[in-house]
Amino acid sequence: MSAIKLCVIGTGLIGGSLALALKQKKYCAEIIGAGRSEATLKKAVELGVVDHYETSPENAVADADIVVVAVPLGAMHAVFKSISTALKPGAIVTDAGSAKQSVIMDAAKSLASHFANFVPGHPIAGTEQSGVAAAFAELYQQRRVILTPTDKTSTDAVNAVTAMWQTAGAEVECMSAEHHDLVLAGTSHLPHLLAFGLVDCLNNLDDVDEVFRFAAGGFRDFTRIASSDPVMWRDICLSNKDAVMDMMRRYRDQMDDMYKSMEAGDGEALKQVFERAKKARDDFCG
Amino acid sequence: MSAIKLCVIGTGLIGGSLALALKQKKYCAEIIGAGRSEATLKKAVELGVVDHYETSPENAVADADIVVVAVPLGAMHAVFKSISTALKPGAIVTDAGSAKQSVIMDAAKSLASHFANFVPGHPIAGTEQSGVAAAFAELYQQRRVILTPTDKTSTDAVNAVTAMWQTAGAEVECMSAEHHDLVLAGTSHLPHLLAFGLVDCLNNLDDVDEVFRFAAGGFRDFTRIASSDPVMWRDICLSNKDAVMDMMRRYRDQMDDMYKSMEAGDGEALKQVFERAKKARDDFCG
């Protein structure tokens, strides 16, 4: 049993699943949970996700060697601010936010002398579910975690956070925060906007019930991500605003081209788009 | 054992699965397959999908009581034309095309005196797979089949086709072809265009391999339909051009509004869209 004391702030699907995985692997001696809702924290103890909890983040981090901040992006700044003077010297802080440049700005402003021990991170995992009851130890098995250290980030801290995620079953890679934000805007943030937008668009048609009644399996898969948490996704989109708007403009150009092909009855142009897309999708999803 | 002789033209996923289901239920005495590719037809016999085959549709339909035309939309017209003088009196013809107004126009032009016995149909079922090897008897279990009879269509023919699909496990409903085409443009044709378009758009970014490497489960679900058959979907989109373009315009307006909310940093407007979409999606998918 290691002597590491871990603090997880935000014991939802992401933080809770990490705690469960690390507990299973005996990665740490103790896991302290913290968060806004005492009901959630009590449930986290009941479910064996954390050993005990503190409702104040300051108290929760006091003895911690590693602090994982797994709260919505909109709450990052306030959490960093509240823990910055309570962290013990050398404590490592990492996060699990889906946009990285905004979190780094928040941390740079608030973590003061601890900023060198802050390792920005993003586990590429999750489901459309949320909350501690949805947490499970296997969530990170063979999933990727991206770390985006800055030029001020300590190498030892990066190594420690890498080891933590590897223990939970993940593959860890480093890249720049800027590159991360563009890649995720394309593969995650834009698709969520498109799915939310499609369901809302169809919802505005007459005879709504009927429209959805004739939806087949393909539509259910396509719109699954539209069941994701609205507040979380509002925060993600706004936290990664520039990259998301860049991807939205590229996508609008793509769809405008396809509309013109439809208008002209240009089946060959449409077929070429569909063929390229099918090939790319088949290649990357095996 | 019924004395019905069934002819299935096009023994792919849709026609082949119907044949398998009807065989299992002993709906007919004999199933004759027809299609363009003799290799496919041989395979259909090997897999027990049809009892025997004819490479010419004219010969295949000569003794048939019911003819199911399950070919791509672009091939409907030619098939109707080739069988119109070979059908026996009173033979019922139905199809499985994903757009109905265009098929009705094709049938009206080509089926001559048999048009009153033509029942336009569309099973809302399928996977991103295609071909006879993907066919399975359970495909239509609890799936909906929409029939879009015209004012010239014989009620007896509608009843016979309804009974056939019910035997295969499906729930059958009637509506106008125009309404069908709008509903399916929204729940099926537009989503396919959006998914093909997204994958092609990302495919045009630099560092493509890397982009897809960081795609999570949500992206895989969202883009599953982009693995569908390009030629089939080109035909569907162009066959239902007006309704699909109508839906594309509505969707563009929706996304333009969301872009403006992003630009203005209007989190409340985004959250409202996301909340409405989540509620609608959760309601209809249970």
Q: Summarize pLDDT for A154-184 with one digit per residue, the tens.
A: 999 999 999 999 999 999 999 999 999 999 9
pLDDT band at A286 (very low <50, low <70, confident <90, very high): low
Give the number of beta-carbon pairs within 8 Å between A and B.
284
The DSSP H or E segment spanning A105 is: helix A101-110
Residue B182's alpha-carbon distances to A49, B98, B100, B189, in angstroms, are 48, 11, 10, 10
Q: Is the pLDDT of residue A85 over 60?
A: yes
- Dist. CA B52–CA B49, nearest whole Å: 9
Q: What confidence score (pLDDT) does residue B205 get?
A: 87
- Per CB-CB distance under 8 Å, the chain A contacts of B233 are 270, 274
Least confident of A54-63, A192-201, A262-271, B122-131: B122-131
- Per CB-CB distance under 8 Å, the chain B contacts of A285 are 220, 223, 227
Least Cα separation, residue B218 to chain A (angstroms): 6
| Percent of chain B scoring above 70 in pLDDT | 99
- Chain A touched by B232 (CB under 8 Å): no
Q: How far apart are the first and last CA of chain B?
A: 39
- Dist. CA B137–CA B154, nearest whole Å: 28
- Per CB-CB distance under 8 Å, the chain A contacts of B125 are 216-217
Per DSSP, A212 falls in state H
All structural domains of chain A, each given as residue ranges with its CATH number in brackets, are 5-175 (3.40.50.720), 179-285 (1.10.3660.10)
- Chain B touched by A264 (CB under 8 Å): no
Q: What is the largest CA-CA distance in chain A?
A: 68
The token pair at B228 is 């569908």
What Rg do the C-alpha atoms of chain A give, in angstroms? 21
pLDDT band at A1 (very low <50, low <70, confident <90, very high): low
Phi-psi region of A83 (alpha: psi -120 to 50; beta: other; left: phi over 0): alpha
What ipTM was predicted for this assembly? 0.88
Averaged pLDDT for residues A5-21: 97
In the sheet where B92-95 sits, what is the strand order? B52-54, B30-34, B5-9, B66-69, B92-95, B118-119
B184–A280 C-beta distance less than 8 A:
no
Q: Summarize pLDDT for B173-188 with one digit per residue, the tens.
A: 999 999 999 999 999 9
Q: Is the pLDDT of residue B130 over 90?
A: no
**The whole model's pTM is what?**
0.87
B274–A187 C-beta distance less than 8 A:
no
pLDDT band at B286 (very low <50, low <70, confident <90, very high): low
Q: What confidence score (pLDDT) does residue A215 get?
A: 82
Q: What confidence score (pLDDT) does residue A189 get?
A: 96
Averaged pLDDT for residues B217-246: 92
